[in-house]
Amino acid sequence: MGLNIVEKILQNHLATDAKTDAGEIALNIDYTLTQDSTGTLAYLQFESLNIPKVKTKLSVSFVDHNTLQAGFENADDHKYLQTVAEKYGINFSRPGNGICHQVFLERFAVPGMTLIGSDSHTPTAGGMGMIAIGAGGLNIAVAMAGKPYFLKQPKVCKVELVGELAPWATAKDIILELLKRLSVKGGVNTIFEYTGSGVKNLSVPERATITNMGAELGATTSIFPSDEVTKEFLKAQGREDVWTELIADSDAAYDEEVVIDLSALEPLVAKPHSPDNVVPVKELEGTVINQVFIGSCTNSSYMDLMKVAAILKGKNVHPNVSLAIAPGSKQVFTMLAENGALADIINSGARILESACGPCIGMGQAPQSAGISLRTNNRNFKGRSGTADAGIYLVSPEVAAVSAINGVVTDPRTFGEPIIVEMPEKFLTNDNMIIKPREDSKEVEVVRGPNIKALKKYEDMEEQISAKVVLKVEDNITTDDIMPSNASLLPFRSNIPHLANFCFAGVDPDFSERAKQAENGFIIAGDNYGQGSSREHAALVPRFLGIRAVIAKSFARIHYDNLINMGILPLNFANEADYDKLDLNAEVQIKDIKSNLEQAKDKWILTTNEGTEIELKSDFSARQRDVLLAGGLLNYTKKNQ
């Protein structure tokens, strides 16, 4: 039996000497990436491991989330990130150089390698034929220390793309179609491997749009083959030497299969407030819009923005629409400036933003109250834009640009001939905003401004925890809900005591105070708890507030790992109906915690003060049990050095 691409890469990277069970595999990690909002903690955690230099082939620290430097906090963080990178052998991509995934694709991604990144859209690099997985910052710290990354053995789903995209249908519509079919939970523990005759017609940035938004399926990651298209892209980036062919064997087997006929796709839109709430654009035609944002790690490539520039050329942005555009990288920005496309964009009345995440993470450009904003982003969760009652609609850059001109949602097929943009033979490759690691860094002093707060240390797990239910939440709670990330909070990512005041603020404003008073607390949750961004703070801040266990109907993958990494017990209801038996402020107990973990017992009993017993279950691997016993991954890694 032949191998699929995923099997080929995984086989090459299995850490065979690592202890695994319960369906876990251990992977050797070639590359890591961080972005500023998760990076400060990841590097604080790495520093606490006392290792002189990173042990990965290559690690990159990006600053793209909070580039504003509106107060000293961001500037402190950026200085810390720059000096810590210099000290420990990490590439540093300066603020303004671009969004981590776009820059990584252009300048660092290599087919056949493994990457973990402290950002949930790390799978973007799957467009280059990498196994690229989003993980918590602590996982990145541990990988930089040369330790393997553990994950559940994923299923591999073959996504066969047949035919060619119809005019005005785009890569964005391919992934929106998949979201429509499979939902935000459809990819759990799955790697999507793209194949079929339609693959060769998609450029690397188009493939990256698809793998980027695979994160919204809840997937482990997504991957495309490395073929002639990949080779041409790398050649145009001046990096042809790193290309290797990577294709599935003709008799490769897959666990699941999906077929998408590209010729049948039409322009699609994901309506508020979930990326799988997908309908054809034509259904919403004529809806008045207030704002359009074109950018983000999903759709801000050179090809995307050249199409946008061609649509906007000689036209005017509608007077009732604010159109903001953020080119994904300095490379994209400079090329648009050099070839005149930027002038076409500016001249239309668009507002040009820095090459950074910006509005995608709620940094500026919040829509008006109850506003309707069309965006090329990957997420449209309630409140993420900075305006609680705004509606965010996810679309392709083409739909966004055409609609910005008309002031209403517009099916681009009514606009005229589709725009064709050729891949350039040569991208502009000036890496002067990437500070390379230096050999001799002994003398480098890591600069820690007052916004860099030391990490709190936690004890080993206890045998018994008595606590209050300090919060009860419904299904699909996102990491944004748990730890909001708006413009006023983002500067405090390395200041956990400050963030703790705002934990769950949009869900239950009293939570923080209640948890502080209770000292020890449990959270009760519905399905898919912790979906969305990889934000480690969504586990770290609750731990700081005394949360010891989350009992849910089900968990999202990265968050589940993050809870374990922080020493919080993630347990499932054995009978989901028991969710209704636990109310806010109930006093409950979990006994035999250490013994259960030590004896690998997966059946747990939660007892209420009234004596009601509720059965809980777990399926921890041996390593996860050891991490929980140690009180978290940092303690565990230190003990096992």
Binding site for ligand F3S (CB under 6 A): 65, 99-101, 119, 121, 296-297, 357, 360-361, 378
| CA angle 416–422–428, rounded 5-degree value | 130
* Cα 124 from Cα 132, distance rounded (Å): 7
The distance of closest approach from Cβ of residue 121 to ligand F3S in the complex, given in angstroms and rounded to an integer, is 5
* Cα 149 from Cα 555, distance rounded (Å): 19
* Cα 257 from Cα 181, distance rounded (Å): 13
The dihedrals phi and psi of 31, each to the nearest 5 degrees, come to -125, 150
Q: Identify which of residues 532 and 542 has a Cβ nearer to ligand F3S in the complex.
A: 532
The dihedrals phi and psi of 160, each to the nearest 5 degrees, come to -90, 120
- 414: helix, coil or strand? helix
The distance of closest approach from Cβ of residue 481 to ligand F3S in the complex, given in angstroms and rounded to an integer, is 16
Q: Identify which of residues 297 and 332 has a Cβ nearer to ligand F3S in the complex.
A: 297
The distance of closest approach from Cβ of residue 421 to ligand F3S in the complex, given in angstroms and rounded to an integer, is 22
C-alpha of 449 from chain center: 27
Q: Identify which of residues 277 and 406 has a Cβ nearer to ligand F3S in the complex.
A: 277
* Cα 296 from Cα 373, distance rounded (Å): 14
| CA angle 93–532–486, rounded 5-degree value | 65
Among the residues of 214-355, which ranges form H helices?
A: 228-236, 302-312, 330-339, 341-347
- β partners of residue 25: 151
Q: Identify which of residues 216 and 411 has a Cβ nearer to ligand F3S in the complex.
A: 216
The distance of closest approach from Cβ of residue 559 to ligand F3S in the complex, given in angstroms and rounded to an integer, is 16
The encoded tokens of residue 550 equal 């989350």
Q: Identify which of residues 378 and 618 has a Cβ nearer to ligand F3S in the complex.
A: 378
Buried b (16+ CB within 10 A) or exposed e, 44-64: bbbbebeeeebebebbbbbbb
Q: Identify which of residues 171 and 606 has a Cβ nearer to ligand F3S in the complex.
A: 171
The distance of closest approach from Cβ of residue 639 to ligand F3S in the complex, given in angstroms and rounded to an integer, is 33
The distance of closest approach from Cβ of residue 2 to ligand F3S in the complex, given in angstroms and rounded to an integer, is 35
The distance of closest approach from Cβ of residue 163 to ligand F3S in the complex, given in angstroms and rounded to an integer, is 29
Q: Identify which of residues 64 and 344 has a Cβ nearer to ligand F3S in the complex.
A: 64
Whose CA is closest to 381, among 262, 299, 270, 495?
270
Q: Identify which of residues 356 and 539 has a Cβ nearer to ligand F3S in the complex.
A: 356
Residue 618, CA atoms < 13 Å, CB-side half-sphere: 27
Q: Identify which of residues 209 and 410 has a Cβ nearer to ligand F3S in the complex.
A: 209
* Cα 489 from Cα 477, distance rounded (Å): 19
The distance of closest approach from Cβ of residue 62 to ligand F3S in the complex, given in angstroms and rounded to an integer, is 9
Q: Identify which of residues 7 and 206 has a Cβ nearer to ligand F3S in the complex.
A: 206
How far, CA to CA in Å, does 608 sit from each of 228, 350, 553, 602? 62, 58, 18, 20
DSSP 274: -
The distance of closest approach from Cβ of residue 63 to ligand F3S in the complex, given in angstroms and rounded to an integer, is 11
- What single string gives the DSSP state of each residue in 346-371? HHTTPEE--SS-GGGGTSS-PPPTT-
The distance of closest approach from Cβ of residue 492 to ligand F3S in the complex, given in angstroms and rounded to an integer, is 17
Q: Identify which of residues 20 and 296 has a Cβ nearer to ligand F3S in the complex.
A: 296
The distance of closest approach from Cβ of residue 266 to ligand F3S in the complex, given in angstroms and rounded to an integer, is 25
The distance of closest approach from Cβ of residue 564 to ligand F3S in the complex, given in angstroms and rounded to an integer, is 24
Token match 């997420």: residue? 379
Give me the helix-helix angle, 72-88 and 36-47, nearest 10°: 50
The distance of closest approach from Cβ of residue 7 to ligand F3S in the complex, given in angstroms and rounded to an integer, is 29
Buried b (16+ CB within 10 A) or exposed e, 268-301: bbbbbbbbbbbebbbebeebebbbbbbbbbbbbb
Q: Identify which of residues 165 and 332 has a Cβ nearer to ligand F3S in the complex.
A: 332
Residue 389 near residue 360 (C-beta atoms within 8 A): no
The distance of closest approach from Cβ of residue 345 to ligand F3S in the complex, given in angstroms and rounded to an integer, is 19
* Cα 335 from Cα 301, distance rounded (Å): 11
**What's the first-to-final CA gap in the chain, in angstroms?**
39
Q: Identify which of residues 40 and 621 has a Cβ nearer to ligand F3S in the complex.
A: 40
Q: Identify which of residues 101 and 172 has a Cβ nearer to ligand F3S in the complex.
A: 101
